[in-house]
């Protein structure tokens, strides 16, 4: 079977037309879709940067309107009532869709101490005797410690509800392979 010259020319012309169409399509992809992709990636990066900052930014909103926060609020309400310890539930941070930002959400851990003073006060609130200092037991201790045989009851010696954050376990200084 012999292929005629007209059929060979037609196949060559169709191949050339398909390749030209593919070249035009690739050019449109590079000129239209690639910049849109880069713009979307830039929006995602800006939203991620704003959401992962330590301090909340102006574009993000905080919310407690998700299932875990609602259940935790019910469970933690008695703890807050008894100890005064406030564990924030407003820890869902969201960024709404914008021309500069992609929509994004993050649940943060706001239960961490935010200041050095909270390293002392927050654990102390969880001790059973922390309320005794508020009720004036320190003055009673100082009064009782005037007696010669009760000096250890001084409010500086016996601290109710005190948490020493600098104290370390005795095992900490031990080295591997040595006995403590």
**How many whole angstroms separate alpha carbon 123 and alpha carbon 112?**
11
**Is it the case that residue 157 has pLDDT exceeding 60?**
yes
The tens digit of pLDDT for each residue in 129-139 reads 777 777 878 78
Q: In what order do the strands lie in the sheet with 60-63?
A: 60-63, 92-95, 104-107
The tens digit of pLDDT for each residue in 58-87 reads 888 888 888 888 888 898 888 888 887 888
**Is it the case that residue 126 has pLDDT exceeding 90?**
no
- CB-CB contact of 109 with 91 (8 Å): yes
- CB-CB contact of 111 with 88 (8 Å): yes
**How many whole angstroms separate alpha carbon 13 and alpha carbon 76?**
77
- CB-CB contact of 93 with 52 (8 Å): no
Give SS3 for 159.
coil
**Is it the case that residue 39 has pLDDT exceeding 80?**
yes
- The backbone torsions φ and ψ at residue 60, rounded to the nearest 5 degrees and listed phi first, read -105, 155
């Amino acid at each position: 079977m012999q292929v005629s010259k007209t059929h060979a020319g037609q196949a060559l012309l169709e191949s050339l037309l398909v390749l030209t169409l593919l070249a035009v399509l690739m050019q449109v992809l590079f000129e239209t879709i690639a910049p849109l992709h880069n713009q979307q990636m830039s929006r995602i990066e800006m939203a991620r940067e704003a959401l992962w900052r330590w301090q909340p930014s102006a574009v993000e909103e905080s919310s407690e309107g998700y299932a875990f926060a609602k259940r935790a609020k019910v469970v933690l309400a008695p703890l807050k009532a008894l100890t005064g310890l406030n564990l924030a539930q407003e820890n869902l941070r969201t960024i709404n869709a914008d021309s500069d930002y992609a929509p994004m959400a993050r649940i943060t851990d706001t239960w961490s101490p935010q200041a050095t003073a909270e390293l002392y006060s927050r654990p102390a609130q969880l001790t059973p005797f922390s309320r005794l200092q508020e009720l004036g037991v320190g003055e009673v201790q100082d009064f009782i410690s005037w007696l010669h045989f009760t000096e250890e009851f001084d409010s500086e010696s016996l601290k109710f509800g005190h948490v020493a954050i600098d104290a370390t376990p005795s095992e900490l200084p031990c080295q591997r392979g040595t006995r403590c």
